[in-house]
Chain A
Amino acid sequence: GENVEQHPSTLSVQEGDSAVIKCTYSDSASNYFPWYKQELGKRPQLIIDIRSNVGEKKDQRIAVTLNKTAKHFSLHITETQPEDSAVYFCAASVTNAGKSTFGDGTTLTVKP
């Protein structure tokens, strides 16, 4: 089955700096890669996603890159703000199968 590894497990940055979280996956059939933000005690919220036919996608301060050959994808957050502090999860799935495999999560702390 699919195996998703996520690094780092914790990340602390100063407000205004950039944050990068990286994930690797094992199943070459995976073609959908979402990123979720989860605040304490709340549900994960989809913040951005990318499909395997695209190398990069950007939405304001958030961007995701995908390298299919190397089987890794990354989340980039620029101009970080304290409200970006949360746990971020990457995931991988084969869309026609539906189920997602999640990374272990990254706890991002943005210091004001």
Chain B
Amino acid sequence: GAVVSQHPSWVICKSGTSVKIECRSLDFQATTMFWYRQFPKQSLMLMATSNEGSKATYEQGVEKDKFLINHASLTLSTLTVTSAHPEDSSFYICSVRPPGPRGYTFGSGTRLTVV
């Protein structure tokens, strides 16, 4: 149980285009999902908390108009990187807290490269 699927696993896009990343909880419902960004050899930095049916909560310094988050159902949250630039190239990963005593489960991550 507690499977979190993230898609795509990698994507290459041109500067100025937008990229959508999906995070799905496959066998449980989640009212909250978290989006992190990880640069090479660095830690996971929380970008935003995705709330089902309401606006996402963004961490300080994260541009909400650039990183659009939609949590339209209890099993799906999407992160759209708009007008991507090379500095947006990173590993984006979602995290979800399944029911029960265990902690958070991460998606498989998305390697975004903007050229």
> Interface residues, chain A, CB within 8 Å of chain B?
32, 34, 36, 41-46, 49, 89, 98-105
Contacts and interface: CB of A to CB of B under 8 A. Distances in A.
A98 B107 contact: no
B79 interface: no
Contacts of B104: 34, 46, 100
Interface residues of B, number: 20
B103 A89 contact: no
B44 A98 contact: no
Given A46-B102, A46-B105, A104 B43 contact: yes
A89 B111 CA distance: 20
Interface in B42-58: 42-46, 49
B46 A43 contact: no
Interface of B: 32, 34, 42-46, 49, 93, 95, 97, 102-109, 111
6 contacts: A32-B103, A42-B108, A43-B107, A44-B93, A100-B46, A101-B46
Contacts of A34: 103-104
Contacts of B107: 43
Contact of A89 (B43, B102, B108): B43
Contacts of A103: 43
Contacts of B103: 32, 34, 46, 49
A46 to B, nearest CB: 5
A99 B51 CA distance: 12
Contacts of A44: 44, 93, 106
Given A43-B108, A46-B102, A98 B97 contact: yes
B32 A43 contact: no
A1 B24 CA distance: 28
Nearest to B36: A102
Contacts of A42: 108-109
Contacts of B32: 98
